[in-house]
Every structure is written in C-alpha cells, then in structure tokens.
Homo-oligomer: A and B are copies of this chain.
Amino acid sequence: MAYDIFKDLAIIIIAAKLFGLLANKCKAPQVVGQIIAGLLIGPSVLGWVQQSEFILEAAEIGVVLLMFSAGLGTNLKELKETGPVAFLLACCGVFVPLVGGTLLYMGFYGASPFGTEGFYRAVFIGVIMTATSVSITVQALKELGKLQGKTGTTILAAAIIDDVIGMVVLTFVIGFKKPDANPGKVALLTLAFFAFAFVVGIIMYKIFQIVDEKYPHSKAISIAGLALCFGLSYIAEHYFGIADITGAYVAGIILCSINDSKFIADKIDINSYMLFGPVFFASIGLKTNISNITAEILLFSLGFVVVALIAKIIGCGLMARCCRFSGSDSLKIGIGMMTRGEVALITAQKGLAAGMLEPVYFTSVILLIIVSSISTPILLKMLYGRDEKKQIA
C-alpha cells in the first residue's frame, strides 16, 4: 500500500536526525551518524526498514539535490582557476587506484598474463576503486563551512572530472569483453554533453537572469531551478550516459551567478535536510547486510579498503603537492577524494553483468563505501580543526 512508505520515512528521518546529533556530540559530522543510523535500522541489525524502490528513488533525488546545491554555491571564478589542476588531480586519482587494485587482486590470487581472463578480473578490481563519490565530502565540507574555499572547489571539480574518467576507463575495460561498448564513443558523448551543457547553460542563464530580475525571490524561480536540475540530470544520464549527479552539478553551476542563487539553494537545502538527504545517507547503510561475510572475503575486503583509500590519498595528495598546495591542504584533498559511493556500486554491477566480477566482491565495495563515508568526514573535521587551532595559536 502507498501508506507503507510513511513508516519507513518516519523511522529514517528520526533515526538519521538522532544519530546525526549524536555524531555531532562526538565531534563527528552528522552525515556519519546518518549512515550509521541506516546500518542500524536496516537489514544488518534491526531490520526495521528494508531497501525499497521508493527509498532508492528518493535517495537518488537526495544525492541529486545535494550536487545541485553544491553547484549553486560554486564560485565560478574559482572553478575556472582550479579547473586545470583539478584535471591533473583526477587523472592521478584514477591511475593510482587502478594500478593499486589490480596489484592487490594479483597479490591475493596470483598474477595472470596480459589479455587473459584473470588479468581483466584483476584490472576490474582496480576499476571499481577509481570513481570518487563526492556527495559525502560535499556534505562534510558544507557542515564545516569549507565548501567554497579553494581546497573545497578543487576537490569538487576533481571528483566530477574523475567520475567522467572513471566512466571512460570502465567502458574501455568492458570494451575488451563486449564488442558493443565503445570507449571512443563514451569519450565523444562526454565531450558532447559538456558542449550541450555549455550552450543550454548560456541560454538558461540569460532566461533565469531576466526572470529573476523581474520577479526576485519568487516561488517560480526556485521551482524552475529545480526543474532545470532534474532535467539536466535526466538528459546527462539518458542521452549522454553520464552520471545524473554530474548533470545536477552542472545545473547548479549554470545558476550559481544569478542574483537569487542563494535563495534557490536555501529552498533546495530545506527539501534536502528535511527528507531527501537523510534518506540518501541512510540508504547507504540500508543497502548493506554485514551479517553474511566470510573470513576470506573479509580479509580481501580489508585489503581492498586499505588500498582504495591509500591509493586516492597518494594519487591526489601527491599531485596536489606537485601543484603547489600546502602539505596540509594536499592531505585534505587526498582524503576528500577517497570517499566512494553509488558509482562504485554501479561499476561493480556493470562488472557483474559483463562476467568480470563475482557477486561476492560486493561486500568489499560496500565496506569501502561505509568505511570511506565514515572516516572521510571525521578526518576532514580533524584536519580543519588543527588548522584553526594553529591560526589561533
């Protein structure tokens, strides 16, 4: 029945808020508490709420709203400045985990020569590690009030680019098994999307600016903004094969320079923190059933998590240091980039469909998502806290 969702939603938003406040008391960001709340109320522990189609879609809206809001808060000038650096960071942040994951698998199960089945299986473990999921970092930086700084903008831009590179790598690797996937086509579609977004963006920006000046602070402007966000999310994924969150982020960037960008962001944030945000973060915990893990998988998973996290810190952190970020900021960027999320799961699902991954490795992916989602906000908060102490001293 339609009313069944009310039970799930009531439990999710209350548990997420309670554990969010509890996390705050323990000096950790709220988002950590929300993920733990999802784990607790989900099938792993209490079993009060099950993953459902509606929760899945509400969570998708949640992550899209989050990225839209991040886009709305972008400083366009800063983004232009960070763009080239972010590209370098993203490349390094894809390459190091790709190699690290491949070596990990070969270290566990023995090396296979290039071109064999075993070789691609190993590479695929690396592929899963490539895509950063920036939403949790965004939320953590937002709570810390550091989303708009140079470091925050760099992380955000690098994570967006890294998603695209990750997608190209995925299609490339699968392309060796499947003849219909064409890496060149993927790269072309990606370029086409950004060209499309650029043209549409300029037109939309002009229209929004005119309407906004005529009717400032209107309901219509925030609804139209939301529609643009949903529209670009759909177009990105449906016509160009790019993640919907990239479309949402681009929609935010298109509107970030109109007068009412903060007005729209406020409305989006209310929709986000009341319902869709908690549902998204709790759903990460809900997806997980930690009760059926074997010792062997646990061991591999531990290695998988450690390699995935360190590879991002090394890849992005070192490159950041090379690009003249301070040591402390480089570490923040490396840690900010180490979060993985739904893209890793999507990649794993594609690997499963292509026969390049056993379902048992999903546990590793989910563990990586949880560990990175919980540790990143805590570490970021510690690092920023240390900086502030230094400034005061």
Supposing A54-B53, A275-B271 touch, asked if A60 and B5 sit within 8 A by C-beta, the answer is yes
Which residues of B have CB within 8 Å of A234? 3-4, 6-7, 10
Map CB proximity to B onto A227-245 as digits: 1 under 8 Å, 0 otherwise.
1101101100110000010
The residue in chain B whose Cβ has the minimal distance to the Cβ of A244 is: B3
Q: In the complex, are the beta carbons of A60 and B222 less than 8 A apart?
A: no
> Which B residues are CB-close (under 8 A) to A219?
17, 273
Does A365 lie at the interface of the complex (its beta carbon under 8 Å from any beta carbon of B)? no
A220 at the interface (CB under 8 A from B): yes
A6 touches B224 (CB 8 A): no
**How many residues of A are counted as interface, with CB atoms below 8 angstroms from the partner's CB atoms?**
42
Q: Which of A231-266 contact B (CB under 8 A)?
A: 231, 233-234, 237-238, 244
A17 to B2, CA, bound (A): 25
A1 to chain B, nearest CB (A): 7
Which residues does A use to contact B, with CB under 8 Å? Answer: 1-7, 9-10, 13-14, 17, 21, 53-54, 56-57, 60-61, 64, 219-220, 222-224, 226-228, 230-231, 233-234, 237-238, 244, 267, 270-271, 273-275, 278
Residue pairs across A and B with Cβ atoms less than 8 A apart, 11 shown, are A5-B57, A6-B61, A6-B231, A9-B61, A13-B226, A13-B230, A14-B223, A17-B224, A223-B278, A226-B274, A226-B275
Q: Cβ of B54 and Cβ of A57 under 8 Å apart?
A: yes
Q: Decide: B271 and A274 in contact? CB cutoff 8 A.
A: yes
CB distance from A187 to the nearest CB of B (A): 21
Measured CB to CB, the nearest residue on chain B to A268 is B274
Tell me which of A57, A231, A238 has the highest count of chain B C-beta atoms within 10 A of its own C-beta.
Answer: A57
Query: A57 contacts B2, CB within 8 Å?
Result: yes
Chain B contacts of A6 at CB under 8 A?
61, 64, 230-231, 233-234, 244
A17 with B220, Cβ < 8 A, contacts A57-B2, A57-B5, A244-B3 known = yes
Q: Are A10 and B231 in contact (CB under 8 A)?
A: yes
Min Cβ gap A145→B in Å is: 16
Cα-based distance from A204 to B34 in the complex (angstroms): 24
> How far is it, in angstroms, between the C-alpha of A348 and the C-alpha of B274 when the chains are bound?
34
